[in-house]
């Protein structure tokens, strides 16, 4: 009797184990917000629905092929989950198809990826190991011969479960699949794997847009821009920097929460704090990047268009026709140059800079980089600025130059001798180290200002400084709440943490703190206004930040938006100053004043989506190829 085989169904075992593991990842490793019991229930069932559906394919196979399919399906599924988890730990987002095609960046991401791997991640392989073990034991009978009737039953039930999941998701959030900009909402309602299928379909559709596009689509977009974003009125700020050089410093991963803030009783950014008194400083300036991060910030600033909802235009649409700020400044007699001590091919910059009309690109080949002067992602910022001076001073004037820093980049490593402030003490190594690299960046910028003054460049230039995107994702909310002395980081807090520093420093002019909300899409028209360069023929979604007719909202790529009075995110409207919840579009629940929410947030929801869709149509359809900007 000891030789009798134990009958088990590997299809059922593998589906239950994989579904359970997926739910644990959703619930405890991703930071997915759940607002009610229905969302919790949907999040619980969708991993099992997906597992039963995918593995149901095996019941149509012969026993040996069935075992092989289940083994490899669970392994591949686990890898998809894990790659998403690593990506999420860094960016607080899920992988999309365009990101996969950016694999050429992988070599440069090595240090960041290693910092995201944790020893406990090995537990995610337990179910895979068990499935492989069981499928190779002779004393277990792991397959059954399904009759045609049972095969149809298994597959039909899997489809019914899938439809049931979708119906519940639609009840919870109507028009769910129209919310492709909100990846978290899709994942928690239809699951990560179904989201990837949805993403493939959406990317295929977007690729087809260029083929069928024509110039007639631009007329409606131009009308919208003229009525809602273009402000050609000249102010007393027009041309105050005419003929001056522009030195634009990209402050890598720098968020506003460290400005004028302290750690262990010390200022985190003493120089940048002091610079506020001598600059036009925008204290409510928001980054608007998506998956492209630094590349997105470059794209937004140079074109005053929004980034794509997934992937990065630097990769997917680098051959498009654009009307960039460097192209406009070139026509006005400016030399354009970018300084970045990284590989020229990283984020496809070599190709994109040529498209944008950049005259000179000083990449890693222009610098002397060794083990002593580099850390993390490459050349240390102090060395970067110092070595760049010989190139900067050789440029024909006037010039427009951009410097992209590196040291304050995830995983925020810094040599001990360069650290001039102690680490923070929390459960997040990322946040703990962040303050040290921020301080180093602050010191590097101060030294750069000294170099500019010593060489005589300073007096004939305007210096612009901008944080390109967040450095601390919401994966570190617990540690962030400790630093900010909050019980938790709410959706409102998350939006406020998307503020990044933005300075316009004009030597000889007094500083001014500007409180009105602004975003990266506004930089292009603002700088052109200060330089006295005519941009009346431009098509952009930003407005001059010194003009009287500023756009009333700052749109983020996920559909959230900010006005001077309100913040809208995750279907909820908040008072921007106090964080008080005023209403929820989805549930219909309102706070103290229903009329406030209805009159303030609701009308702008559709307008924000309209503006984002217009920008997408320009990029996906390559519509600027049909337009003559000289007329």
Domains of the chain: 6-208 (no CATH), 217-626 (3.40.720.10)
Per-residue model confidence (pLDDT) at position 4: 46
State which residues of the chain have pLDDT below 70: 1-8, 98, 100-112, 137-147, 175, 178-182, 585-599
Per-residue model confidence (pLDDT) at position 594: 45
Per-residue model confidence (pLDDT) at position 593: 47
Q: Which residues are catalytic?
A: 294
Q: Which of 452, 454, 470 is nearest to 399 (CA)?
A: 452
What's the N-to-C CA distance of the chain in angstroms? 91
Under DSSP, is residue 465 helix (H, G, I), strand (E, B) or coil?
strand
Structure tokens at 95: 């992988």
Per-residue model confidence (pLDDT) at position 73: 92
Per-residue model confidence (pLDDT) at position 315: 83
Per-residue model confidence (pLDDT) at position 494: 96
pTM: 0.81
Helix 37-55 and helix 63-91, axial crossing angle in degrees, nearest 10: 140
CA distances from 6 to 1, 9, 58, 397 (A): 11, 10, 20, 83
- C-alpha span between 498 and 500 (Å, rounded): 6
Under DSSP, is residue 247 helix (H, G, I), strand (E, B) or coil?
strand
Per-residue model confidence (pLDDT) at position 10: 80
Which residues sit opposite 245 in a β-bridge? 461
Per-residue model confidence (pLDDT) at position 590: 45
**Is 502 in contact with 537 (CB distance < 8 Å)?**
no
Length of the chain equals: 631
- Nearest 5°: the CA angle 303, 306, 310 is 125
- C-alpha span between 594 and 6 (Å, rounded): 64
Per-residue model confidence (pLDDT) at position 597: 44
Q: Which of 113, 145, 143 is nearest to 9 (CA)?
A: 143
Per-residue model confidence (pLDDT) at position 7: 52
- C-alpha span between 438 and 207 (Å, rounded): 39
- C-alpha span between 283 and 169 (Å, rounded): 39
Per-residue model confidence (pLDDT) at position 140: 55
Structure tokens at 269: 């950014």
Tell me 504's DSSP state: E
CA distances from 180 to 56, 98, 177, 193 (A): 28, 14, 6, 14
Per-residue model confidence (pLDDT) at position 101: 62
Per-residue model confidence (pLDDT) at position 181: 55
Element (H, E) at 448: helix 429-454
Under DSSP, is residue 513 helix (H, G, I), strand (E, B) or coil?
strand
Q: Helices in 1-62 by DSSP H: which ranges? A: 10-24, 37-55
Element (H, E) at 31: none
Q: Give residues with Cβ within 8 angstroms of 428, minimum separation 6.
A: 472, 476, 478, 479, 480
Per-residue model confidence (pLDDT) at position 205: 73
**Is 403 in contact with 336 (CB distance < 8 Å)?**
no
């Amino acid at each position: 009797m000891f030789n009798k085989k134990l009958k088990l169904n590997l299809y059922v075992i593998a589906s239950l184990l994989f579904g359970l593991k997926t739910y644990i990842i959703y619930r405890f490793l991703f930071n997915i917000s759940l607002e009610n019991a229905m969302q919790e229930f949907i999040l619980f069932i969708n991993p099992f629905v997906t597992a039963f559906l995918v593995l149901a394919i095996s019941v149509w196979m012969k026993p040996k092929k069935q075992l092989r399919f289940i083994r490899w399906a669970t392994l591949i599924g686990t890898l998809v989950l894990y790659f998403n988890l690593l990506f999420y730990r860094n960016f607080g987002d899920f992988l999309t198809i365009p990101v996969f095609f950016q694999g050429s960046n992988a070599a440069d991401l090595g240090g960041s990826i290693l910092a995201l791997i944790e020893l406990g991640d090995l537990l995610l392989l337990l179910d895979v190991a068990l499935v492989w073990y069981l499928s190779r034991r002779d004393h277990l009978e792991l397959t059954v011969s399904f009759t045609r009737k049972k095969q149809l039953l298994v597959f039909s039930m899997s489809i019914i479960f899938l439809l049931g999941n979708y119906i519940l998701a639609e009840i919870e959030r109507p028009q769910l699949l129209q919310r492709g900009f909100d990846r978290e909402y899709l994942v928690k309602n239809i699951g990560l794997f179904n989201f990837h299928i949805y993403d493939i379909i959406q990317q295929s559709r977007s690729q087809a847009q260029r083929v069928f596009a024509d110039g007639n689509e631009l007329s409606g977009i131009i009308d919208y821009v003229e009525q809602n974003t273009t402000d050609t009125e000249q102010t007393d700020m027009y041309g105050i920097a005419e003929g001056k050089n522009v030195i634009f410093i990209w402050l890598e991963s720098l968020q506003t929460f460290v400005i004028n803030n302290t750690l262990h009783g010390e200022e985190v950014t003493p120089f940048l704090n002091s610079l506020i008194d001598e600059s036009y400083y925008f204290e409510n300036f928001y980054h608007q990047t998506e998956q492209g991060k630094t590349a997105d910030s470059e794209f937004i600033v140079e074109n005053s268009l929004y980034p794509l909802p997934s992937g990065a235009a630097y990769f997917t649409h680098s051959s498009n026709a654009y009307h960039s700020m460097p192209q406009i400044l070139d026509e006005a007699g400016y030399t354009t140059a970018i300084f970045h001590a990284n590989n020229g091919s990283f984020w496809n910059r070599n190709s994109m800079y040529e498209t944008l009309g950049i005259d000179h690109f000083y990449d890693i080949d222009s610098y002397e980089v060794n083990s002593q002067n580099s850390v993390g992602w490459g050349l240390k910022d102090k060395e970067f600025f110092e070595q760049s001076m010989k190139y900067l001073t050789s440029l024909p004037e006037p010039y427009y130059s951009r410097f992209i820093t590196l040291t304050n980049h995830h995983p925020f490593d810094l040599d001990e001798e360069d650290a001039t402030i102690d680490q923070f003490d929390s459960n997040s190594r990322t946040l703990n180290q962040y303050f040290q690299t921020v301080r180093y960046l602050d010191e590097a910028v101060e030294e750069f200002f000294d170099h500019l003054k010593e060489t005589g460049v300073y007096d004939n230039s305007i210096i612009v400084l901008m944080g390109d995107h967040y450095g601390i994702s919401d994966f570190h909310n617990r540690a962030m709440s400790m630093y900010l002395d909050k019980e938790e980081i709410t959706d409102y807090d998350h939006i406020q943490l998307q503020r990044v520093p933005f300075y316009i420093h004009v030597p000889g002019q007094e500083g001014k703190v500007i409180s009105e909300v602004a975003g990266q899409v506004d930089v292009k028209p603002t700088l052109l206004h200060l330089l006295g360069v005519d941009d009346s023929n431009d098509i952009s979604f930003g407005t001059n930040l010194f003009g009287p007719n500023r756009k009333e909202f700052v749109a983020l790529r996920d559909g959230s938006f900010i006005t001077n009075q309100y913040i809208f995110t995750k279907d909820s409207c908040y008072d921007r100053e106090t964080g008080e919840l005023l209403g929820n579009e989805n549930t219909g629940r309102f706070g103290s004043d229903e009329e406030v929410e209805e009159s303030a947030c609701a009308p702008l929801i559709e307008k924000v989506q309209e503006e984002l869709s217009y920008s997408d149509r320009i990029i996906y359809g390559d519509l600027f190829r049909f337009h003559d900007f000289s007329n």
